[in-house]
Structure 1
Amino acid sequence: MAAPPSGPDAAWGGFARGFLVSALCLVAGYLALAFALDPYDSGRSPLGTVGIRPQGPRTAAASRGRDPAFRGAIIGNSHIQLIEPERLSGLTGIPFVQLAIPATGPGEQFVVLDWFLRHHPHPQAIVLAPDDFWCGDDPAFRNDKPFPFWLFASDLPGYLRGLMRYAVAQEVIERIGWLTRKRRPLARADGWWDYEPDYLRLGFGEEAHRAPYRDKPVPDGPERGRAGPFPAADALRAALRAVPAQTPVVAVLPPVAHAALPRPGTPRAAAEAACKAAIGEALASHPRSALLDWRRDRPEARDPDLFFDGSHYRHPLARRVSEDIAAAIARLRAPTEQAP
């Protein structure tokens, strides 16, 4: 009978096996802890939900988007961010959550829509905000800004892989500290994030400061990659198949300042018109839908006091857009569903 191996090689082999087992146990232990603590309140933990600490909307949307207290959602980026959910709720009788995430495009926004629909299979209203980012010709909707796609994944392995990120491990530690506090600061449930104070803090309250940003004219040619085709329109058509036929869907083309509009008759104007038409055609595939075109030459676009820059508007205009959204929802709802 052969004697078991001995010497340095055997010792190193035993050390390597022990190290591997220890590492696997450590990873498994961390994953079990992170899964149980559910750092972003995604609802996957068997321990229930306790909300989230104040944080950015990229991760907070997982908690807000599954909250059963809300029956309507506003989805987009900073170009729809100033629509106040509480105000829209008051106008429609539908409890709205604001799920706008700055610097996102259609790829991220369709993921958020899917997440909301998975947790609200019978929503009372959906508000989308197809801006110029929806006019890109990239079918992959690539964006150089990071986004936690794993957090909204429908498959468990994808979510578990996301938990292995360093930033998530840091959030797990933050979560432990937050959970042990007697008084826990909570993120605002409806997602309202008013960007006006941020702009004012940066000096945009002064006309001399904001005018160069607001009044810079766009070129006559379309932006590279935004002259068609428009895959976001096809993706919208596919996404709307998951929305119940009785749910009103309102798409708002967000307002821009007059200088940000293309000059009539230019190639840029033709490209924008083609993009609008593609989005409108896709939206019309849903039986209760409305397209609100605020991206055109109307009196509000020429009012310098309504914009901080070319595409970020202020509260007075946001309130008008909210009223327009509410009126569209009222037209689309059945008589028995009207707000009191």
Structure 2
Amino acid sequence: MEDAPTASARAWRRFAAGFAATASGLLAGYLALAVIVDPYDSGRSSLLSAGAVRPQGPRTAAASRGRDPAFTGAVIGNSHIQLVEPARLGAATGIPFVQLSVPATGPGEQFLLLDWYLRHHPSPAALVVAADAYWCTDDPALTNAKPFPFWLFSESWPAYLRGLMRFSVAQEVVGRIGWLMRARRPLARPDGWWDYEPDYLRQGYADDPRLVADRERRAPDGPDPHRAGPFPAAARFAEVLARVPARTPVLLVFPPLYAPGLPRPGTAREAAESACKAAIGGALATHPLSAVLDWRRDRPDLHDPALFFDQTHYRHPLAHRLTDDIAARLRPLIQSSRAQD
């Protein structure tokens, strides 16, 4: 007869094995369901694709927007280029643009989004890439300050599956199922344009004395020790550009900065910023059909406080001028591209 300790140990082993098998089965079942549902419409499964963008933040919505074949042009950046309206840009250039700008991102995330777009649009009609002060970091890892779903845009299936094993993502799986089952689904704009003006107005950026004082504060003359070079983002930019077809126009935009935030001539900060711009411009020059549009320099309209919420976020009138200027700089590039046909 088997003694009690041995029987108890065997019972626990059977329980542990059964528990592990059940947990593994549930995990495999969840992952299979999540892959099929494809909560952010990444295209890894087309079984439940609705051909539309479910309302969500731009970090995850970019997975769907970035692969939409309707948009042959893309705007890449963060909130400093976000107010460029793709419909206005498209009307002026004849190219349907998608806004893939994501607030609070730096070059690392933006290069990944550009790579995602290129994977689904191997021969874009045009690209607009915005480089701001975050591109001047000396951090070779291009570390991101805010959470970002790198797994969602990864080429690695194991990375994608690990990303699906998050509680927040499981909630999105359930949410997408419910959304798919609705007869009248709420939809987000397919072109990705998001107007931040109402949000800034609600927060008091137009007239709050403290926020107004922050907007008027002069930039220091000394350089930021972490933005004085070298500039690894420039090297990474050149690597990404190597994947862009030679006949695709690429416009690099340095977005507007309110005049008090501009570095004063002759200062160390101006020298550092000029060196950063030169490095990024040098990377752009590796692409044969490209141009630079520099709005991060002294201009009359950058001295008007009514055009800015803070030193880096501007309002519609300035956004319209910038958009029209982008279109004007793109048009000759587009004509050169079409002449190669």
> What is the TM-score when the length of structure 1 is the normalising length?
0.95
Match of 1:197 in 2: 198
Contact 1:75 / 1:113 at 8 angstroms: preserved in 2? Answer: yes
Alpha-carbon offset, residue 211 of structure 1: 2.5
Corresponding residue of 1:162: 163
Please tell me whether the aligned partners of residues 230 and 275 of structure 1 are also in contact (alpha carbons under 8 angstroms).
yes
Q: Note the 1:202-281 alignment, pairs <5 A.
A: 202-206=203-207, 208=209, 210-281=211-282
In the alignment, structure 1 residue 180 sits paired with structure 2 residue 181: yes
In the alignment, the residues of structure 2 paired with residue 31 and residue 157 of structure 1 have an alpha-carbon distance, to the nearest angstrom, of 11
Question: What is the distance in 2 between the residues matched to 1:336 and 1:255?
Answer: 28
Find the aligned partners of 2:251 and 2:136 in 1 and give their Cα distance.
Answer: 18
2:310 is matched with 309
Deviation at 1:102, TM superposition (A): 0.3
Q: Which amino acid aligns with 2:318?
A: L
1:18 lines up with 2:18 in the alignment: yes
TM-score (norm 2): 0.95
Give 5+ residue unaligned stretches, structure 1.
Answer: none
Query: Which AA in structure 2 matches 1:254?
Result: P
Q: Which sits farther off after the overlay, 20-29 or 164-173? A: 164-173
Q: Distance in 2 between matches of 1:48 and 1:290?
A: 41
Report how far residue 209 of structure 1 moved: 6.0
Moved more, 204-213 or 68-77: 204-213
**SS state of the match for residue 292, structure 1?**
strand
1:27 Cα deviation after fit: 0.3
Per the TM alignment, residue 301 of structure 1 is displaced from its structure 2 partner at its CA by: 1.1
Q: Displacement, 1:201? A: 1.2
Q: Deviations along 1:271-324, whole A, 9 cap, x unmatched?
A: 000001111111011001111110001111111111111000111111111111
Q: 1:335 and 1:104, CA in 2 relative to 1: closer, same or farther beyond 3 A?
A: closer
| Aligned partner letter, 1:39 | P
Partner of 2:286: 285
Q: In the aligned structure 2, how far is the partner of 1:46 from the partner of 1:266?
A: 55
Pair 1:243–1:184, CA change in 2 (3 A): same
CA contact (8 A) 1:92 1:330 kept: yes
* Distance in 1 separating the partners of 2:195 and 2:338: 30
The residue correspondences of 1:43-54 to structure 2 (distance < 5 A) are 43-51=43-51, 52-54=53-55
Deviation of 1:337 after TM superposition, in Å, equals 3.2
Contact 1:135–1:275, Cα closer than 8 Å, also in 2: yes
Give, in angstroms, the shift of residue 328 of structure 1. Answer: 1.3
Deviates more, 1:38-47 or 1:111-120: 38-47
**How far, CA to CA, are the matches of 2:297 and 2:336 in structure 1?**
31
Deviations 1:20-46 (A, max 9, x none): 000000000000000000000000114
- Percent identical: 64
Q: Aligned Cα RMSD in Å? A: 1.7
Aligned to 2:42: 42
Which secondary structure state, in structure 1, belongs to the residue aligned with residue 292 of structure 2?
strand
Is the Cα contact below 8 Å between 1:31 and 1:163 reproduced in 2? yes
Alpha-carbon distance between aligned partners in 2 of 1:114 and 1:188, rounded to the nearest angstrom: 22
- Code of the residue aligned with 1:16 in structure 2: it is A
Give the Cα–Cα distance (whole angstroms) in 2 for the partners of residues 143 and 293 of structure 1: 24
> 1:6 Cα deviation (Å)?
5.5
Taking the aligned partners of 1:173 and 1:104, their CA distance within structure 2 comes to 27
Match of 1:64 in 2: 65
Partners of 1:73 and 1:98 within 8 A in 2? yes
For 2:212 and 2:259, locate their aligned partners in 1 and report how far apart those are by CA, in whole Å: 12
Query: How far does residue 180 in structure 1 lie from its aligned partner after superposition?
Result: 1.6
Inter-partner Cα distance in structure 1 for 2:225 and 2:144: 15
Distance 1:96 1:54 in 2: 19
* TM-fit CA distance, 1:206: 2.7
